């Protein structure tokens, strides 16, 4: 298959492929690093079913000012992009750079929440109807949608789903009415933030839509993507609303947790149930 893949890439780009080596990190599609005869170094994803969508999402983030791979070719089962150099973990300076970039991204606004098309997160469908009210969008198309998907996959019980329904009916306790839509990356865990010492070099694997920007910030705490340095710098541009760390951070993280429940089950179910208990549900 690698030889067939080389032939397909060469046909798509009009350039021979010298090398094509597998790399880690692909949970939805096979990922490889390639060197072309014209000197370009590329990242190749294949065998996924939504790679053209991924290319469109990356292009949108690039237009919003984020460093992202340049898209050379995009089909549903083949995505060829420029290779972004990276290595190691985010240092303090890179965290500040990330805050600069993410704050600028969150300043990109819309009249509605959602997006012009449905997207994906972790390979799962992510519905994006364009709605004017964030609380309604988060309730119906994030919390309840993914909870229902998890129940259909027999990852959670009907009793747990009912507890999520109870919480979803009380969101006005924690989420205000006057939230403004912000463009978000949507899947901001550490593996999707590429860096070298002192700077972020690129963002990959997006799940974009217009949202309350705080749902992005919350997700970044779930797997310790960013630390205090990031938040201190981010607040220089966009101060957090009262109650974020006290309640909304954990509330918003129910969505990515439910994504992980749908994909993996296991201890993520216990984490979701613990969160529901802390919110009195």
The residue with tokens 């760390």 is 245
Residue 32's DSSP bridge partners are 22, 44
User: Rounded CA gap, 30 and 25, in Å?
Assistant: 9
If phi over 0 gives left and psi between -120 and 50 gives alpha, with beta otherwise, what is residue 136?
alpha
Q: Is 212 a catalytic residue?
A: no
First CA to last CA across the chain, in angstroms? 51
DSSP string over 86-143: --S---HHHHHHHHHHHHHHHT-B-SSBB-SS-EEETTEEE----BS-HHHHHIIIII
The conformation of residue 173, written as its DSSP 8-state character, comes to G
Q: Name which of 90, 54, 46 is nearest 205 in CA terms.
A: 54
Catalytic residue among 118, 177, 187, 212: 187
Instruction: Please list the active-site residues.
Output: 187
């Amino acid at each position: 298959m690698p030889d067939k893949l080389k032939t397909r890439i060469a046909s798509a780009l009009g350039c021979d492929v010298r090398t094509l080596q597998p790399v880690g990190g692909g949970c939805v599609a096979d990922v490889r690093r390639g060197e072309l005869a014209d000197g370009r170094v590329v990242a190749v994803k294949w065998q996924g079913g939504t790679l053209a969508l991924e290319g469109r999402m990356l292009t949108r983030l690039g237009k919003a000012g984020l460093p992202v791979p340049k898209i050379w070719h995009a089909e549903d089962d083949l995505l060829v992009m420029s290779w972004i150099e990276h290595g190691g973990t985010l240092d303090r300076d890179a965290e500040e750079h990330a805050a600069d970039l993410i704050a600028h991204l969150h300043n990109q606004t819309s009249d509605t929440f959602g997006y012009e098309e449905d997207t994906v997160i972790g390979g799962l469908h992510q519905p994006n109807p364009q709605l004017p009210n964030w609380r309604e969008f988060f309730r119906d198309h994030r919390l309840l949608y993914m909870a229902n998907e998890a129940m259909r996959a027999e990852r959670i019980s009907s009793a747990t789903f009912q507890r999520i329904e109870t919480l979803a009916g009380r969101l006005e306790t924690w989420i205000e009415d006057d939230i403004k839509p912000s463009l978000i990356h949507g899947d901001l865990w550490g593996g999707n933030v590429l860096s070298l010492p002192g700077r972020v070099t690129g963002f990959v694997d997006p799940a974009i839509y217009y949202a309350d920007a705080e749902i992005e910030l919350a997700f970044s705490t779930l797997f310790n993507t960013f630390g205090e340095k990031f938040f201190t710098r981010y607040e220089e541009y966009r101060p957090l609303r009262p109650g974020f760390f006290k309640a909304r951070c954990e509330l918003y993280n129910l969505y990515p947790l439910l994504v992980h429940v749908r994909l993996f089950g296991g201890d993520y179910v216990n984490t979701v149930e613990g969160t529901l208990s802390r919110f009195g549900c």
